[in-house]
Amino acid sequence: MSLRYWIGLFSMMAVPAFADPAAGGPAADPGVLGFKAVDIDGKPQDLEQYRGKVLLIVNTASKCGFTPQYQGLQALYDKYKGRGLVVLGFPSNDFLWQEPGSSAEIKEFCSTRFHVTFPMFEKIDVKGKSIHPLYQYLTQQSPFPGAISWNFNKFLADRSGHVLARWGSKTTPEDPELVAALEKALGI
């Protein structure tokens, strides 16, 4: 393998240093809180607003065999939001075009079919050349790297934005391991 290959590989693995101008040196990695996204209503959002909250970040789709997980995600949000949980839904059309709708259609589907009240964002890419920076971080720089396998992959982040755990599509929101990790992060 060429030197160019190895340099490219190592540069993808490198965790960026975050400048702290006040201290004149590197600052702590803000984790998922260092990113911005556009919500389902088209408003730019700084994920820093969720500092102090435990986050469950999920790539979603409306026409997938795992779509009923919206119900479980909403149940988790309802049960634990008073203790600091926020579920963040990121629709994606990356897997067999299972999220073809517009933001308005996705919002209506989620709210009428599953009564979703947790924050939803506009459709993004969670893999490939146009991957959203948040998902680039989650899949390449978090402690749980690896490509998103399908819709409804889940990442748990602590109150400081650091990723604590990751689950695939087959792990439901009701899974005892997921719930235990969530409760531990919430201090329950």
Q: Token digits for 67?
A: 């779509």
**CATH code for the domain defined by 30-186:** 3.40.30.10
Q: In 136-175, which positions are buried (b, 16+ CB within 10 angstroms) versus exposed (e)?
A: ebbbebbeeeeebebbbbbbbbbbebbbbbbbebebbbee
| pLDDT of 1 strictly over 70 | no
**Residue 30's pLDDT is what?**
83
Tens-place pLDDT, residues 108-128: 999 999 999 999 999 999 999
Residue type, 16: P
For residue range 133-170, what is the model confidence (pLDDT) as tens digits?
A: 999 999 999 999 999 999 999 999 999 999 999 999 99
Q: Given this model, what pLDDT does residue 16 score?
A: 36
Q: Looking at the predicted structure, is the pLDDT value of residue 6 above 90?
A: no
Average pLDDT over residues 167-184: 97
- Torsion angle, CA of 53/59/63/64, rounded to 10 degrees? -110
Higher-confidence residue of 16 and 83: namely 83
Catalytic residue among 34, 39, 64, 83: 64
CA distance 188 to 167: 20
Q: Please give the residue that has the higher pLDDT: either 33 or 24.
A: 33
DSSP state of 121: B
Q: Write out pLDDT tens, residues 34-92.
A: 999 999 999 999 999 999 999 999 999 999 998 999 999 999 999 999 999 999 999 99
Active site residue 64: yes
- How confident is residue 28, by pLDDT bands cut at 50, 70 and 90? low
Q: What is the pLDDT of residue 124?
A: 96
- Integer Cα distance of 167 and 93 in angstroms: 19
Task: Break the chain into its structural domains and give their ranges.
Answer: 30-186
Calpha distance 20→5 (Å, rounded): 32
pLDDT band of residue 27 (cuts 50, 70, 90) is low
| 2 or 171, higher pLDDT | 171
